[in-house]
Amino acid sequence: MVETGVVHGRFQILHYDHVKYIMAAKARCEQLVVGITNPDPTLTRHDAADPARSMPDANPLTYLERYEMVREGILEQGASVRDFAVVPFPINFPELYKYYVPLDATFFLTIYDDWGERKLGMFQSRGLKTEVMWRKPLSEKGITSTEVRAAICAGEPWEHLVPHSIARILKERAITQRICEMA
């Protein structure tokens, strides 16, 4: 077990597979830092390894909304607020990492595609300690936020794909309506 770990994601609706990833990393460290990528349009950059991730319709939630969802999703799993921090993480700007996350931490990743490999390369090229928790083909990725957002807009069941606290936040704040309006 390492002292500090870092995980990251856009979390453009936190779902159960995100929670699985976050909690797998938490089990490997004392303190976990969860970085929210694409925190705002100025810290979002196109990357050919996954061009859709930088598009506005793929990023309908604000940083603050995602912060709250990540925090509530982790707490719902029984973690203590003392065991983790949630921060912005401009993934496409490696020169800025030092301002957001501890560089002596272990950066935990899961890899399903070229984008995952690209991130691993970015971290390793900066001399960061990395651990790939699992590497699977894209066909085994599981739930995606894109699918959750699509189900919401199609009027299909989606609540079973996200922690209860996330479904509550999305409904109470009318975020589901905004997602559909942006789609």
User: Domain containing 54 — which CATH number?
Assistant: 3.40.50.620
Residue pair 91/64 in contact by the 8 Å Cβ criterion = no
What is the spatial distance between Cα 41 and Cα 45, in angstroms, rounded to a whole number? 8
Question: What is residue 41's predicted lDDT score, i.e. its pLDDT?
Answer: 85
Question: What is residue 51's predicted lDDT score, i.e. its pLDDT?
Answer: 73
Question: What is residue 61's predicted lDDT score, i.e. its pLDDT?
Answer: 96
Question: What is residue 55's predicted lDDT score, i.e. its pLDDT?
Answer: 81
Number of domains in the chain: 1
Question: What is residue 120's predicted lDDT score, i.e. its pLDDT?
Answer: 98
Range of the domain at 84: 2-182
Question: What is residue 104's predicted lDDT score, i.e. its pLDDT?
Answer: 98
Question: What is residue 115's predicted lDDT score, i.e. its pLDDT?
Answer: 95
pLDDT means per 10 residues in the chain (183 residues)? 97 98 98 96 80 82 97 96 97 96 98 96 97 96 96 98 98 96 87
